[in-house]
Amino acid sequence: MRNKIYIEEMGCDSRALDAGRFARYFSTNGFKVVGTPKCADYILFITCAFIKAKEDYALKRIKRFQGYKGELIVGGCLGGINKERLNENFKGFSFSTLHNEQIDQKFPDFKIKFYDIPDINSIFPKRTVLFIKEYISTIRLDLSYLKRFVNSYKRRVLNKPYFIRIARGCINQRCSFCVIRHAVGNLKSKPASECLVEFKRALDEGYKNIVLVGDNVGAWGIDLGLTFPDLLDELLRVSGVYNLQIDDFHARWIIQYADRLIPIFRSGKIKYLKSPIQSANDRILAAMNRGHTQAELRKALLKIKKVCPQLELCTHIIVGFPSETEGEFEETLDFVREMGFRMVYIFSYSKNPNLRLSEDIEKLELPREIIKARERKSVQFFKRNKIAC
């Protein structure tokens, strides 16, 4: 009988694409991918750990998986972000997102190696019950939460968009609050010719919604001597009825490429843009090492909104960053409302040993009760202003 493997992932679209690639890796080598861990010979768990709540949930699932008869293998970002904590809770075979190819060490007899498996364009299906469990583990259950859950469920499970992973890794910007770079490594852009092949294949297969994803989408091309607008120009030359969605577009790229993006957005082909602003206060932005000011981002966004008023804007904000005052926190809320963001993901600041905060900022960490109060206040603010959060 064929060996059976159960695969589960948590986190972003990029990790869901990784899980799908692993599924193809195992099925190509004769394994059967099953829908429950109970009957599996192996369990592959792709973790997320970009905030402490996700770390906690990942470790909870690891403990649960260790109760099954199948051998557990842990991949994803936890091993790159907090290896020490993973090792305290798990002694089996593990690897980080940066080293997905290490799975070959566990299965040396496989004829098809991991890097022989090309990128896939549909995210690994997640069972509805797991989708609910993961969200409930990190987010308060209220009407705003339910709206976010429904939107995410439609996007991840029902609508089935076509994903093109245009790049992996991040540039050496080192946002002080971010630990993801420890898991994903340095930027590696996919050549434009390969992106174009995947794009045309999507249209040939009848897809209308195409999502460009990566750990730092706007950085695409820097390692190739090109820019992200170069790639968009290439894709939009292809005729057809479709719309593009751009995920995780750092504010610095909106500012840097604003003038080049204007004709691109004027085409009407880009319907959705997620740009995590994190904060809109200049002092906090500097402490976060974001590399821009509120005024610069405001100017760039207004330019784009003028030529593309139908654009759906989404963002992330961090509440309770060390030393953040109440006024600075409220400045971020007001900016999100004024700029017309239709959806916002709210993250409470969480400490991690890999953060690169300055000593002056780090020692001004806010009490958890203040952070939680601001989280509640931000939810109430966005609900009053009809912004999904």
Domain boundaries, the chain: 4-116, 139-384
What is the predicted pLDDT for the residue at 152?
A: 58
Identify the CATH number of the domain defined by range 139-384: 3.80.30.20
E strands, 186-269, are: 188-189, 209-214, 243-246
| Nearest CA-CA partner of 177 in 277, 293, 327 | 277
The answer to whether 43 and 63 are in contact (CB under 8 A) is no
| Nearest CA-CA partner of 332 in 370, 291, 279 | 279
**What's the pLDDT tens digit per position in 15-53?**
999 999 999 999 999 999 999 999 999 999 999 998 888
Question: Does residue 155 carry a pLDDT above 90?
Answer: no
Q: What are phi and psi of 24, to 5 degrees?
A: -70, -35
322: pLDDT confidence band, cut at 50, 70 and 90? very high
Query: Cα 260 vs. chain centroid, distance in angstroms?
Result: 25
**What's the pLDDT tens digit per position in 66-124?**
999 999 999 999 999 999 999 999 999 999 999 999 999 999 999 999 999 999 998 87
Q: Return the residue matching tokens 């500097």.
A: 286
Computed from CA positions of residues 193, 198, 266, 250, in that sequence, does the dihedral angle turn out positive or negative?
negative
Greater model confidence, 157 or 379? 379
CATH superfamily of 4-116: Methylthiotransferase, N-terminal domain (3.40.50.12160)
Instruction: Report the distance separating Cα 250 and Cα 212, nearest Å.
Output: 14
